[in-house]
Amino acid sequence: MAGAIVKYGIIGVGMMGREHLLNLYHLRTEGVAVVAIADPHLPSQQLALDLAHSFSWPLKVFSGHQELLDSGLCDVLVVSTPNMTHHRILMDIINHSKPHHVLVEKPLCTTVSHCKEVVHAARKRPDILVQVGLEYRYMPPVAKLIEIVKGGNLGRVRMVAIREHRFPFLVKVNNWNRFNINSGGTLVEKCCHFFDLMRLFVGANPVRVMASGAIDVNHKDEIYDGKVPDIIDNAYVIVEFDNGSRGMLDLCMFAEGSKNEQEISVVGDIGKGEAFVPESVVRFGAREAGRDGVQTLKAEDPRIKYDGLHHGSSYLEHLNFLSAIRAKGEKAPSVDLQDGLISVAIGVAAQLSIENGRFVTIEEVMDGLKS
The average pLDDT across 213-234 equals: 95
Please, are residues 70 and 360 in contact by the beta-carbon 8 Å criterion? no
pLDDT tens column, 16-73: 999 999 999 999 999 999 999 999 999 999 999 999 999 999 999 999 999 999 999 9
Residues 216 and 285 in one domain: yes
Number of domains the chain contains? 2
Residues 330 and 346 in one domain: no
| Run of H or E including 35 | strand 32-38
pLDDT tens column, 248-260: 999 999 999 999 9
Residues 120 and 250 in one domain: no
**Type of residue found at 235:** A
For strands 246-252 and 157-165, give the pairing: parallel
Rounded to whole angstroms, the Cα distance separating 37 from 45 reads: 8
pLDDT tens column, 159-173: 999 999 999 999 999
Q: What is the separation of C-alpha 239 from the centre of its chain, rounded to a whole number of angstroms?
A: 18
Residues 122 and 145 in one domain: no
Residues 152 and 275 in one domain: yes
Task: Tell me, yes or no, whether 252 lies in a domain.
Answer: yes
Task: Tell me, yes or no, whether 308 lies in a domain.
Answer: no
pLDDT at residue 301, rounded to an integer: 96
Task: Tell me, yes or no, whether 370 lies in a domain.
Answer: no
Residues 158 and 250 in one domain: yes
Residues 285 and 153 in one domain: yes
Specify which residues 241 forms β-bridges with.
Answer: 206
Longest distance between any two alpha carbons in the chain, whole Å:
62
Domain of 11: which CATH number?
Answer: 3.40.50.720
Q: What is the separation of C-alpha 99 from the centre of its chain, rounded to a whole number of angstroms?
A: 23
- Range of 297's domain? 136-301+342-365
Residues 165 and 227 in one domain: yes
| Residue 370: pLDDT over 50 | no
Q: Name the strands in the sheet holding 206-214, side by side, starting at the edge strand that comes first in the sequence.
A: 295-298, 281-286, 271-277, 262-268, 157-165, 246-252, 234-241, 206-214, 360-361
Give the pLDDT band of residue 369 (cuts 50, 70, 90).
very low
The average pLDDT across 95-106 equals: 98
Task: Tell me, yes or no, whether 319 lies in a domain.
Answer: yes
Please, are residues 158 and 245 in contact by the beta-carbon 8 Å criterion? yes
Residues 248 and 331 in one domain: no
Task: Tell me, yes or no, whether 262 lies in a domain.
Answer: yes
